Amino acid sequence: MDDTPLASFSLTHVHYNADDPISYLCAWLALVPQALCVIYATLIWSSREVEVVLMGLGQFGCEVLNFALKRLIKEQRPPRMNGKGYGMPSSHAQFTAFFSVSLTLFLLLRHTPLPASPSHTPFSIPQRLLLSTVALICAAIVAWSRIYLNYHNPQQVFVGFSAGALSAVVWFAITDYLRRNGWVDWGLDTWAARELRMRDLVVEEDLVAPGWDRWERKRRDKRVGKGQNKASESVKKR
């Protein structure tokens, strides 16, 4: 038999207390960054929205920063820790903080929805505030879960959350500069962006509005066509 020792692929390998329901829930929360990565990839591929691409690039840069900080600080995880590698700062806290703060800044400062139409009702300010609050609370819960599972101590989680939030603010300022000075429009006019069908609609309308409008027009035209056909048949019978 082959006695070669095997390693564990720890990307989705989470230790938790099987007798503790909260620990079990925290184990699921540990998969939130992976789920968000899938969401990023899905939205980028399906919507081709430059705002989503910019947010994804910022998220990737935040992860690179976390990788560098861990190897610069070299602080160990808590005693009897359940993870490997350095613990300062928490990557889960930093990841979710960047996402939630970026979403909040977009909804409250950048999103300028078009007026309501028969098929589209934009989010109001209270609704956007509620969604932003929910996102921030969820990020805080994921960060807390890392302490509960004993993967990080409170200081590591606090630094990670702070680094993610600060990264989101800095990246938002950078992208705001790129937008105001025409660099985003310039990028959208390049051959590569046009070949990839990149667009910039989500700043003014939600992701489903354009497709929904087209769908409603198609169904309306279809109903009108059926009505005209029935009228023609009725005339012929007479």
The one-digit pLDDT tens for each residue of the chain (238 residues) are: 566 776 666 667 778 788 889 888 888 898 999 999 999 999 999 888 999 999 999 999 999 999 999 898 888 888 776 557 777 899 999 999 999 999 999 998 888 877 766 556 777 788 889 999 999 999 999 999 998 888 888 999 999 999 999 999 999 999 999 999 999 999 989 999 899 898 888 888 776 666 677 777 788 788 776 655 665 666 556 6
**50: helix, strand or coil:** helix
- The secondary element (H helix, E strand) that includes residue 181 is none
Question: Which residues fall within 8 angstroms of residue 90, CB to CB, at 6 or more apart?
Answer: 143, 146, 151, 152, 156, 157, 159, 160, 161
CB crowding 144-163: b at 16 or more within 10 Å, else e: bbbbbbbbbbeebbbbbbeb
- Torsion 82-85-90-92 (CA) sign: negative
Q: Give me the sign of the Cα torsion angle 213, 214, 219, 221.
A: positive
Q: Report the first-to-last Cα separation within the chain, whole angstroms.
A: 89
In this prediction, residue 226 carries a pLDDT of 64
pLDDT at site 120: 64
- pLDDT given for residue 81 in this prediction: 62
SS3 117: strand
Please choose, from the candidates 92, 103, 112, the residue with its C-alpha nearest in 3D space to the C-alpha of residue 169: 103
Within 8 A by CB and 6+ apart from 107, the residues are 123, 128, 131, 132
Give the pLDDT score at 111.
83
For residue 229, give both structure tokens. Answer: 């056909």
Q: Which residue, among 157, 182, 8, 176, has the nearest Cα to 97 in the 3D structure?
A: 157
The helix/strand/coil state of 120 is strand
Give the predicted TM-score (pTM) of the model.
0.82
CA 77, CA 154: separation in Å to the nearest integer?
Answer: 11
Cα dist from 80 to 42, 77, 90, 121, whole Å: 37, 8, 17, 52
